[in-house]
Amino acid sequence: MTEPLVLAHPAPPRRPRIPRLLQQTAFRRYWSAQTVSLFGDQITVLAVPLLAVLAIGAGPAEMGYLTATALLPNLLFSLPAGAWVDRYPHRRHVMIVADLGRAGLLLAVPLLWWADALTLPLLCVVAFLIGTLSVFFEVAHSSLFAALVRRPDYVDASSLINGSRAMSYVAGPSIGGVLVQVLTAPVALVADVLTYLTSAVFLARTRVTERPVQTGPGLGMAAGVRYVAHSAVLRAILLGTTTLNLFNYMFAALFVLYVTTELDVSPGLLGLIIGAGALGGLLGAAVTGPISRRIGIGPAVILGLVVFPAPLILVPLAGGPRPLVLGLLITAEFVSALGVMVLDIAAGSVQIAATPETMLALVSGFKRTVNYGIRPVGALIGGALGAAIGVRPALWIATLGALLGVLWVLFSPLSTMRQLPEEC
């Protein structure tokens, strides 16, 4: 007997799987706020130095001053801001006010430029004030993150946020470079104003139960210093990343000047190089979770401390035919961006896991005081070295010196750490 013919129906197309965390409304809005703000930040990171070089005529020393001024608030205000935020019950409100303030300050730059009143000192003042508001935003960020994300999801949540950061590295500089070349650098900053306003709207719509404020002895600024100093894990991460940042910001203060003047790369092409290279950041955000599960969260931190700075050696090495120069620059940006993601996700997850929830902003503030506070020092040293011995020799010192940071972590408990630690 012949079997009846059964017509097979084609399988319905598979819908892209939305990450579980993004199915949660509160986290999705928080992540959206972070994403849009990160895109604007990347436009500013390129537009402000180009504005200083192309519109104001800044040289190596002036670029060092500008970079240092923007970073100086991390040294001055991170620790007191962390102590204050840990005692303030509405960390989300702090982030919203910071977004609105940064939008207003950035809007002042094109207005000053159109009035023919923009000078390097004024640009430094704006950079300093924006940096101050960014300190309050970032120290409040870690507390809000812990309120929204369960401990087992720290790495996945950090991967999503840093995936947005990587995507901003891809699109932000490319868009920024084109905007600077077509519309001028001051007009490009208007785009960042809109991103800060959008971020504030998303944060205002994020509903989260923040932990109660704890007061009493032992929660002042000194507590954050003592806690990190007594934690072998947090201490090693802080010393390693601080060493890396000292040299990396020597590099950052000179990079735009070097590629635009000595390598003759146009602003638009520079944006495309950075954007194309930062595709490595997307890869890094995607692979950090599997890597940390395969080799352990501690070795993943060590890997990031090497893969982040090592490829930047190709920048001062660049020379010869133009295609070779562009290929070296793209390779350096691609692999370094991959390393940044591995380091940020792994080290950030370890830091949050190893810190009591009542001290997250405080410990974050102390970390920024040291880790971020060293950045203006690096920028000033980079600018001075560039003026004294030349930009390329200064870049060689910066890129090779950044590799020393991994030594602090190699001889710490992180070298054998497989899982996220308990509070330590």
Token pair for 15: 């819908």
Token pair for 252: 């950052």
Give pLDDT, residue 399: 92
Asked if 414 contacts 237 with a C-beta cutoff of 8 angstroms, the reply is: yes
Give pLDDT, residue 100: 93
Residues of the chain with pLDDT under 70: 1-17, 169-170, 172-174, 183, 210-221, 275-278, 423-424
- DSSP secondary-structure letter at 52? I
Give pLDDT, residue 156: 82
Query: Which candidate, 37, 39, 149, 146, places its Cα nearest to that of 95?
Result: 37
Distance CA 30, CA 265 (A): 37
Domains of the chain: 21-210 (1.20.1250.20), 221-423 (1.20.1250.20)
Asked if 54 contacts 369 with a C-beta cutoff of 8 angstroms, the reply is: no
Give pLDDT, residue 215: 55
Give pLDDT, residue 220: 62
Distance CA 51, CA 134 (A): 21
Asked if 172 contacts 39 with a C-beta cutoff of 8 angstroms, the reply is: yes
- The Cβ of residue 228 has, within 10 Å, a number of other Cβ atoms equal to 23
Spatial CB neighbours of 183, under 8 Å, sequence gap ≥ 6: none
Give pLDDT, residue 299: 93
- The Cβ of residue 201 has, within 10 Å, a number of other Cβ atoms equal to 14
Give pLDDT, residue 300: 93
Mapping DSSP to helix (H, G, I), strand (E, B) and coil, where does residue 107 land? helix
Distance CA 100, CA 194 (A): 10
pTM of this structure:
0.69
